[in-house]
Structure 1
Amino acid sequence: MATPIILFELLLALSILVALATDHSPLQDFCVADAKSQVLINGLACKDPKLAEANDFFFSGLHLEGNTSNAVGSMVTPVTVSQMPGLNTLGISMVRIDYAPWGINPPHTHPRASEILTVLEGHLEVGFVTSIPENRHITKVLKKGDVFVFPIGLIHYQRNVKSTNATAIAALSSQNPGVITIANSVFGCAPNIPSDILVRALQMDKNLVTHLQSIF
């Protein structure tokens, strides 16, 4: 009789651990972000629900083409809790990404979200890199209507592989997914990472490291 009891206790303990490892469900219909609140929490404080209005749950602008005349040839238009306060506590957000011919959305990560991307127009080469020790590069060329997912935290990118513009829309599993663009973070942080650290870590010439730091 002891074995079934022990098994039950183990399953119960496992279920508790799984429950603790997931995000908490909202405890009310919504929690519209109060950007003016001085309360500091892991997220944003709620404004009085009686003061919520339609515009808190509304955003207009994803129909507009982003300006891709920049060094990487892409533009991301976000709809996170910063643009739509009604997303607060809901665990979702989205972006529109525009790509110039041959433009890229450079290698980056979202520390708090997985991303599912749908191509609206054009052809995109997409890819992500798995973690150590495998470090496997998983890549595919997508066309209009194709969908691809980037797992949370992994470095990923997109590139327009045609001489015409491309557009994609992506959903993310966080109201505030965050973004870490690899080159900007490594070479453009303030204050700089000491160049001797980067020289040794990246096996690069010090003059090249200094040059990249000056760019970013």
Structure 2
Amino acid sequence: MLVSCFKMTKSGVLFTLITLSFCYLAFAFEPAPLQDFCVAETNSSARVNGLACKNPMLVEANDFFFSGLHITGNTSNSVGSKVTPVTVAQLTGLNTLGISMARIDYAPWGINPPHTHPRASEILTVLEGSLHVGFVTSNPDNRLITKVLQKGDVFVFPVGLVHFQHNVGYGHAVAIAALSSQNPGVITIANAVFGSNPPIASEVLAKAFRVDKNVVDQLQSKF
């Protein structure tokens, strides 16, 4: 009898762990929509995890439409790249759908600096040019996974990992990115670390990067 109860207890614990694992997976992604669509009501003051829904009777075709990805981005800046996003901020019909996209233009030798999307994985397709791309795995390995892409090549950046793109050609390069969130977010590492408001204490950054405080001060002044 005792052995039988012990087996039942083990089975119950196993079932509970499996159930919890499925719950974890369910909550690891954005919630599925409970209606055909939820066009974002940008003027709403409602506080929700996302954007409130527009009255469906007032929805029109333009709520699901965006024009402009054929336009070349202005890359005359310090990094030599321009991202044209199409997230829920630009296309309100994306609200709750869990997808977005972007066009990235690169000047010759321009970069899309190391950054991360806290809420999305990204799949990048090269339309023109040659791009050196890569991402870094999490601690403790911090392994760099990198490859040079040509026109028509596709590369995936897993959610939350730091990644970059670098135009390694002499001509203009273009890529299209698809992301698994209507609001993927972006954290550019250098901007966040050296350009935070208010600034992170230079003593903290000097110790973290193992450099002299003057080096940190110089970097912070650039942001």
TM-score tier by shorter-chain length is: over 0.9
Alpha-carbon deviations, 1:88-123, whole Å to 9, x = none? 000000000000000000000000100000000000
Matching residue within 60, 82, 89 for 2:89: 82
Say whether residues 1:30 and 2:40 are aligned partners.
no
Runs of 4+ in 1 over 6 A off after TM superposition: none
Counterpart of 1:155? 162
For residue 56 of structure 1, the aligned residue among 53, 63, 83 is 63
1:124 equivalent in alignment to 2:131: yes
Following the alignment from structure 2 to structure 1, what is the Cα–Cα distance between the partners of residues 32 and 158? 21
TM-score for both structures, normalised by structure 1: 0.95
Percent identity over the alignment?
67
- Shift of the alpha carbon at 1:208? 1.4
Write the distance in 1 (CA, Å) between the matches of 2:192 and 2:62: 34
Q: How far 1:4 sits from its partner (Å)?
A: 8.0
Q: Distance in 2 between matches of 1:167 and 1:20?
A: 34
Contact 2:122 2:157 in 1 (8 A): yes
Contact 2:37 2:96 in 1 (8 A): yes
RMSD: 1.6
- Structure 1 residues 207, 94: closer, same or farther in 2, change over 3 A? same
**Alignment: residue pair count:** 216
Q: Distance in 1 between matches of 2:25 and 2:8?
A: 21
What is the distance in 1 between the residues matched to 2:23 and 2:122?
27
The CA deviation at 1:207 is 1.4
Alignment-mate amino acid for residue 70 of structure 2: H
Tell me the secondary structure at the aligned position of residue 18 of structure 1: helix
Q: Specify the alignment match of 2:208 in structure 1.
A: 201
Query: If the length of structure 2 is used for normalisation, what is the TM-score?
Result: 0.92
**Tell me, what secondary structure is at the counterpart of 1:116?**
strand
Q: 1:190 matched to which residue of 2?
A: 197
Q: Tell me, yes or no, if structure 1 residue 9 matches structure 2 residue 15.
A: yes
Distance apart, 1:46 and its partner CA: 0.4
> One-letter code of the match for 1:118?
T
Q: Residue 80 of structure 2 corresponds to which residue in structure 1?
A: 73
Equivalent-residue separation in structure 1 for 2:68 and 2:47 (angstroms): 30
Partner residue, 1:174: 181
**Structure 2 residue runs without a partner (length 5+):** none
Q: Any unmatched runs of 5+ in structure 1?
A: none
Once the two structures are superposed, residues 57-109 of structure 1 have per-residue CA deviations (whole angstroms, 9 ceiling, x without a partner) of: 00000000000000000000000000000000000000000000000000000
Partner secondary structure for residue 221 of structure 2: helix
Aligned partner of 2:102 in structure 1 is: 95
The equivalent residue for 2:148 is: 141
1:47 aligned residue (22, 37, 54): 54
Task: Choose 1 or 2 for highest CA Rg.
Answer: 2
